[in-house]
Amino acid sequence: LLQVCTAFPAEDARYGHVKMHHGYTNVLGLGDSSTWRLPCLNRYVYMFLAPLLIPVITPLVAVERLRKVRLGAALRALALISLGLYSHYWLLRHVSGFRSPASALACMLCTRSLLAHPYLHVNVFQHIGLPMFSRDKKPRRIHMMSLGVLNLPRLPVLDWAFGHSIISCHVEHHLFPKLSDNMCLKVKPVVSQFLREKQLPYNEDTYLARFRLFLSRYEELLVHAPPITELAGLQ
């Protein structure tokens, strides 16, 4: 289902998100969200225009990744990705009534990029700009998740599109990745109280504040390599 809907290999998504990003959150070279950095783009292109290309770039990246996996797995993923893209196109032509291939493809691009801006923004807002750690001096898990993850406030559209665990309960999601969205929301008060009692940060900020931060400090946050945070006494 993931491959049909997103046009991206499930195994690669699982490895990158679950094993690397969750296992080594904000550890440079492993789970530091560096795949979202595009130093060749300026701030305005990155923040406003680049998200519109995500529906086009995603299948191309998927094909490049499939070159590195077993032939059987690659063919299965490619078949499911093609099924998802063709089904979308077929429905637009034969059910929605688009008369020309160009209009159907244009509609596909528009609908698939509808939430591309918050998708790109959220992926960088909630980790980049927070403390980064080296491979050999990363802190304990509780410190790593508390320091390197940020929650955005509840927003109805984003909650519906991405879920609580990606938006307002991202700290909880990183601490307890197997919890459902509903359970992340339920444990949120307990987690925030526990971290504050232990004098650990519970990072929260608004979408607009993070947007302004990244726009004003774009080169520092998304072009240059971030500095490693030294945490005396926490290693």
Counting the structural domains of the chain, the total is 1
User: Number of helices (H) and strands (E), helices first, in the chain?
Assistant: 13, 2
pLDDT at 137: 83
What separation in angstroms does the CA of 143 have from each of 34, 165, 228? Answer: 20, 19, 15
Q: Flag whether 49 is in a domain.
A: yes
Residue 69, pLDDT > 90, answer no
pLDDT tens-digit profile of 28-66?
999 999 889 999 999 999 999 999 999 999 999 999 999
Residue 235, pLDDT > 50, answer no
Angstrom distance (rounded) from CA 152 to CA 211: 11
pLDDT tens-digit profile of 109-140?
999 999 999 999 999 999 999 999 998 888 89
Residue 231, pLDDT > 70, answer no
- Residue 1's pLDDT band, with cuts at 50, 70 and 90, is confident
Angstrom distance (rounded) from CA 9 to CA 68: 12
Q: Flag whether 231 is in a domain.
A: no
Q: Flag whether 168 is in a domain.
A: yes
Q: What is the pTM of this model?
A: 0.90
Angstrom distance (rounded) from CA 185 to CA 138: 28
> Higher-confidence residue: 234 or 194?
194
Burial of residue 148 (CB within 10 Å: 0-12, 13-18, 19+) is buried
Angstrom distance (rounded) from CA 21 to CA 30: 7
pLDDT at 229: 85
Q: Flag whether 56 is in a domain.
A: yes
Residue 183, pLDDT > 60, answer yes
Q: Locate tokens 């601490």: which residue?
A: 175
Give me the percent of the chain exceeding a pLDDT of 90.
81
End-to-end CA distance of the chain, in Å?
Answer: 40
Angstrom distance (rounded) from CA 182 to CA 83: 31
Residue 186 near residue 165, CB atoms below 8 Å: no
Angstrom distance (rounded) from CA 170 to CA 189: 13
pLDDT at 138: 86
Q: Flag whether 187 is in a domain.
A: yes
Q: Which domain holds residue 115?
A: 2-223
Minimum mean pLDDT among 98-112, 141-155, 219-233: which range? Answer: 219-233
Q: Flag whether 116 is in a domain.
A: yes
* Average pLDDT over the chain, rounded to an integer: 92
Q: Flag whether 230 is in a domain.
A: no
Q: Flag whether 229 is in a domain.
A: no
Identify the three-state secondary structure at position 209: helix
Residue 170 near residue 151, CB atoms below 8 Å: yes
The phi, psi pair for 25, rounded to 5°, reads -55, 120
